[in-house]
A and B are shown apart, each in its own frame.
Chain A
Amino acid sequence: MPIVVHRVEVRPRPDELDPRGDAARRDAESLGLPRTPSRIETAAVYLIEGELSEQQVQRVAGVLLADPVMEVVTVGAAPPVADALIEVHPLPGVMDPDAEAVESAVRAMLGIEVRVRTARRFDLHGVDAATARRVAEESLANPVIHAIHDTPYRPESFATGGRLPPRPSAVVIEDMDDATLARLSRDAHLFLSVPEMKAVQAEYRLLGRDPTEIELETIAQTWSEHCVHKTLKATISYRGPDASSWAGRPGHEPGPDGSITIHNLLRSTIAAATEKLIADGIDWCLSVFVDNAGVIAFDDDQAICFKVETHNHPSALEPYGGAATGIGGCIRDIIGTGLGARPIASTDVFCVAHPDRWKHGELPSGCLHPRRILTQIVAGVRDYGNRMGIPTLNGAVWFDDDYVGNPLVYCGCVGIMPQEMVSGEPITGDRIVVLGGRTGRDGIHGATFSSSELTGTHADEFSHAVQIGNAVTEKKLLEAIIEARDEGLYHAITDCGAGGFSSAVGEMGQCLGAEVRLERAPLKYAGLSPTEIWISEAQERMVLAVPPESIERLGAICRLHEVEMCELGHFGTDDQALIIRHGHQEIGRLSMEFLHEGLPKTTREAVWLRGSAGRGRGSGKATPELGEALRGLLSHPNIASKRWIIRQYDHEVQGASVVKPLVGPDGEGPSDAAVIQPVPGSTRGLAIANGLATGLRADPYVMTLAAIDECVRNLVCVGADPSRIAVLDNFCWPSCHEPKRLGELVRAAEACYDGAIAYRTPFISGKDSLNNQFTTDDGTTIEIPPTLLISGLGIVTDVGRCITMDAKAPGHRLLLVGTTGGDMGGSHYEMLYGAGGDAALPRVDLESGPNIARAVAELIAAGLVRSAHDCSDGGLLVAATEMAMAGNLGLELDIPDDGASLLARCFSEAPSRYLLEVAPASLDTVQASLGTIPHTVIGTFNESTCLTLPAAALDIPIADLLTAWLHPLDW
């Protein structure tokens, strides 16, 4: 029987709903095209290449591909049923997880090997072919990974692996001058600076030879900003405010001219704070800044680890795959922490441009529409996280038009493991074992690509850096690894992330040396060059150090879980070299010392002039009346309900949920943090939250402290113990070659030091992503706002003491704890309407902020607080409204005059403030307990359906406010 490509279509029965078609039509409608499809019908398309008889095709179609109750099947192609037809097929080489599953099912059913591709067909009613194509390009498909056809597509045969491997050859760099080195770095996508290229040149002159291609690539991957964080580790000379007050810190050297030299910014600020706190008695940090994630003690037996990563540049080009592989990579960091942790929670924070301010077709060339980006990154996180069975339970979205070409996707993951498994090291003789997905050409140059800035041509140049993930492969990998871990079958583990094998093996073998045989790596298709195998960032792979005697047992576990396993080489070489072989040929030999210590140290200039970062952009509209302003703020997308996103995530899988992301009688209240009870049988809990204060970017020092303070408040509000909070830093910055951008980074890092010490919240892990900017075709560079995400974990002593933010009962009093003042700078009110008076940025008071947090936590632990809510984005009036809306109650407010304007009292975003609901019977005890901590009774919940502030003649139905808050992002 000849090998041919069979085509099968499966569509809903004619009398059945077609929800996917309806959804496609709604998406098309949101594009705002002159004509919109009146209806879209969909069908799943399967292309099956193999030696199958007609009867066998019918059987596969009837039993495997279609359900007799709800679907009908067509072998071949049904005639067009509408005005236009579109088919979306993955490009060759693009991961197609469903196809892999169908291939194995056909193998099990018929015992025949087939190759499968899946696609989707759309029959569009009411539009012509040209409009249909636009709908396809802007909504149904992404040309970076999809081919669009306008007739049913069935190829004669499937494309197979591409070019032949190039001969491993030396790159002659001995005599190159600076300009030639720079060109080589750019053309070969190495993204190394000229001094770095010269360091490589000098090393090879010493060795008396030229580097091979694979050696240059290895160095480029290892030295990439993404992998080594050279900016945060550089020596920085800072001139600007506050320099002298930082003089006493580790690694800080004051200069005679008022400047300060900071040796290794990361170690001298963020890590230094953690070291100081540990020296000062914090004894629950188990592993900080050395592993794939930071680790703290949960109780006497279990450890918790937490890591947050970004996946920004891939998500700009292909948001679905970019976000999915972002969360997938972060999950692998957790699986690869210590001897392996089990993931128990995920977080996600996105920064995108305002979806309603950009018309389709008016975006800078090379940018996707922000609505599409947000919809697709949510779908990517949803599909990967839900399939992994990890609850995605905390997050945020920040909107700013400067993210238009460079959105931010932060993915976080929390894991749990026994404390005795917190660390592992390979020993000489251990086999280098790769588990999981096959290696392909996908994801090549992710590490160096993420370290460069985006331009309009990146989609063409770097589409191979974009990937689709396969969550089920990773889930199988996880289960096999945990089983092997519990049997003690390996000495060390790490994930294959940026830089692929080159980084994973290079890091694990740093002290011992390693020898690899690249021809052993299982490949997705033929034709990869050794260098491609070595640096491919194909997903869902982990590298283990396995003693020879455990190989057989590990193999049995992998077979049960259907996980592919390969022995790539061994750890331990005579002179601790990294030796790369392909077949019998040695194609690279690198000294681990040069690889890991040879990166030239640089000194960078940083300056900061007060206010150099620019101000928030008020619309300059006339000052609205109070109720109008409140409605406007509730509708601001930063503040508006994110239920559209949250409800798509399985935030309860694993059965550990205690405080959910949405709370209250109707499940609409925005929780400050999520709480889980990760150990069955123990009432101890874990709270997870974040802080993000990008509105205050005019001074990153102020912004950073506000983010730390907000993260702490969020955790305290659900019942976490503020003396057991650990935090993570994730910097996303534009290029720091500009001294003023680096100055902003310095101020943020110094604030991390001050905030961590003041709140006694050690940083346990972090990551930076620089070069987040987009250059348009006309050469304009759009820099993102400096963005620092603080993510936090807090221990809850007894989950039975947790509280939620929804108001509980009429008659209960609303108490403001903390001081507002008059500063309106950086507030959402200022963004919408201008500062209305004082545009100064509100600053965290490092003495009172932590005291207030402790005092509130004590009240909650004593059971005196019925609900608590952090007073932040939008200000007091927004937070109070959220509590009333969430609890289906009315609220009468009376906000006493404390010297600040009514506007500031309502809408200032001053930090360190909490709103507490207290039963009248507890009020005296609460106020006495607060003592000198500033606090004011500002209202009473009632059974009315309105929010009232009689002093300002404000009286609005809660239902109106709820609509304003729910509607904007209810996509």
Chain B
Amino acid sequence: MPSALILTTSGINCDRELATAFEMAGADAELVHLNRLLAEPRLLNRFDLIGLPGGFSYGDAVSAGRVAAALMRETLYPAFVSAIERGVPIIAPCNGFQIAVQIGLLPGPAPGESWPSTAPAPSVALAPNHTARFVDRWCAIEIPDETRCIWTQGLDAAGERAVLPVAHGEGRFVADDAVQRLAAGGQIAVRYHGNDNPNGSTGDIAGICDASGLVLGLMPHPERFTRWTHHPRWTRLEASILQETPLGLAMFRNAVTRARRQVAAV
């Protein structure tokens, strides 16, 4: 069974549901404290999947994910890159996404280029919501046909099947000039659909991936849509829909399937 490392640290609080989602999708999951990983970055080599969970790392002091990123950047960037080069899928919802963009894991090098040896400066950011307010709600989402993301690829979701919850105060996707490049490179993994953009994100971007498609960062929480009773309108849905795999769980299954193939290949 593939094994997933779930990174926890001070203020992270979505670690347990992220572990549950991996387990439901057929992986083992182990919570590992950042202080352990900083002491021994090679721990990452033992795992086939990685989750950077949501929460308020270090209280989101200064801004979301900033302190965690400052602690992780130099020590852990090479270890993460070697995991990606090994074919390890990584998911980073919410605070994980905010951290991933600040330690150089997203959006990563352009397609065909290799990872720089040290963490590059951030080129995208998650800014305070345009309302300046934390918001918890479900959003309609869409998955671009051309995405390279191995987590969301092939998930042909629409209507009530294509929803995910958000819960954040700093999720407004901001990019210098990267949006065109990301779109052209198939690196947009999830968009808010219609007018359902909860935070004012540029281009309705909810999540992006690296050029390999292995690393997914997104503001919505797929780990909170692994059962139909999570759905905000489940009491109104047809019984037949309730037999399908919920979108969030389908994403984890995609990655676990990929990791299983990877494990078998080695």
Contacts and interface: CB of A to CB of B under 8 A. Distances in A.
Interface of A: 12, 16-17, 19-20, 22-23, 44, 63-65, 67-70, 97-102, 104-105, 108-109, 382, 386-389, 470-472, 475-476, 479, 560-562, 646-660, 663-665, 667, 677, 680, 799-800, 802-804, 806, 808, 867
Contacts of A652: 136, 165, 167, 221, 224, 230
Interface stretch (B11-19, B79-87, B110-118, B143-151): B11-19
Of residues A20, A70, A104, A647, which shows the largest number of chain B Cβ atoms within 10 Å of its Cβ? A70
Contacts of B265: none
A8 to B, nearest CB: 11
A655 B167 CA distance: 12
B236 A808 contact: yes
A101 B61 contact: yes
A102 B10 contact: no
13 contacts: A67-B66, A97-B61, A104-B58, A472-B11, A561-B10, A648-B133, A652-B221, A652-B224, A657-B230, A663-B235, A677-B229, A802-B229, A803-B235
A12 B63 CA distance: 12
Interface in B102-150: 102, 121-125, 127-138
A382 B10 CA distance: 18
A197 B67 CA distance: 52
A105 B67 contact: yes
Given A20-B128, A647-B135, A102 B35 contact: no
B42 interface: no
Given A97-B59, A472-B56, A652-B167, A19 B132 contact: yes
B59 A98 contact: yes
Contact of A67 (B36, B102, B223, B227): B102
A472 B59 contact: yes
A648 B11 contact: no
Contacts of A476: 10-11
B59 A101 contact: yes
A69 B70 contact: no
B230 A655 contact: yes
B127 A102 contact: no
B13 A389 contact: yes
Contact of B128 (A19, A105, A651): A19
Interface in B5-42: 8, 10-11, 13-14, 16-17, 20-21, 33, 35-36
Nearest to B62: A65
A655 B225 CA distance: 8
A76 B134 CA distance: 31
A562 B12 CA distance: 13
Contact of B17 (A108, A470, A654): A654
Contact of A16 (B59, B127, B167, B232): B127
Contacts of A648: 133-136
Contacts of A389: 13-14, 55-56
A42 B127 CA distance: 14
B91 to A, nearest CB: 14
A655 B227 CA distance: 9
B175 interface: yes
B250 to A, nearest CB: 16
Contact of B122 (A16, A68, A98, A658): A68
Contact of B66 (A64, A654, A802): A64
A657 B232 CA distance: 9
A853 to B, nearest CB: 21
Contacts of B70: 63-64, 105, 108-109
A99 B62 CA distance: 9
A799 B231 CA distance: 13
B230 A653 contact: no
Interface in B88-104: 102
Given A19-B128, A109-B70, A650 B134 contact: yes
B62 A647 contact: no
Nearest to B18: A655
A472 B59 CA distance: 6
B64 to A, nearest CB: 10
B161 to A, nearest CB: 15
B226 interface: yes
A665 B236 contact: yes
A475 B167 contact: no
Given A647-B137, A658-B229, A472 B167 contact: no
A65 B61 CA distance: 9
B134 A387 contact: no
Given A475-B10, A652-B136, 8 more contacts: A64-B70, A387-B11, A560-B33, A647-B135, A650-B136, A653-B17, A657-B229, A799-B229
Contacts of B132: 19-20, 22-23
Nearest to B23: A680
A611 B144 CA distance: 67
Given A70-B125, A476-B10, A655-B223, A650 B167 contact: yes
B174 interface: yes
Given A108-B70, A653-B13, A68 B121 contact: yes
A806 B232 CA distance: 12
A561 B33 contact: yes
Given A67-B102, A560-B35, A660-B232, A655 B17 contact: yes
Given A19-B129, A102-B61, A388-B13, A69 B122 contact: yes
A22 B54 CA distance: 27
Contacts of A98: 59, 61-62
A387 B33 CA distance: 18
A738 B91 CA distance: 62
B215 to A, nearest CB: 18
B62 A101 contact: yes
Contacts of B121: 68
Contacts of A382: 134
Contacts of A804: 235
Given A97-B61, A389-B14, A562-B35, A69 B224 contact: no
Interface in B46-77: 54-56, 58-63, 66-67, 70-71
Contacts of A99: 61
Contacts of A647: 135-137
Cβ-closest 7 pairs across A and B = A389-B13, A655-B17, A101-B61, A19-B132, A23-B132, A69-B125, A98-B61
B29 to A, nearest CB: 12
A727 B107 CA distance: 51
B69 to A, nearest CB: 9
B78 interface: no
Contacts of B71: 105, 108
Nearest to B11: A472
B136 A667 contact: no
B81 to A, nearest CB: 19
A804 B234 CA distance: 9
A101 B67 contact: yes
A19 B136 CA distance: 18
A386 B229 contact: no
Contact of A69 (B33, B176, B221, B227): B176
A560 B124 CA distance: 32
A19 B134 contact: no
B200 interface: yes
A683 to B, nearest CB: 9
Contacts of A650: 134, 136, 167
B172 to A, nearest CB: 8
B119 to A, nearest CB: 11
Nearest to B165: A652
B224 A655 contact: yes
A98 B57 CA distance: 11
A240 to B, nearest CB: 47
B234 to A, nearest CB: 8
Contacts of A70: 125, 127, 174
A386 B12 CA distance: 11
Interface in B158-174: 165, 167, 172, 174
A302 to B, nearest CB: 15
Interface centre among B16, B122, B123, B235 (most CB of A within 10 A): B235
A581 B233 CA distance: 60
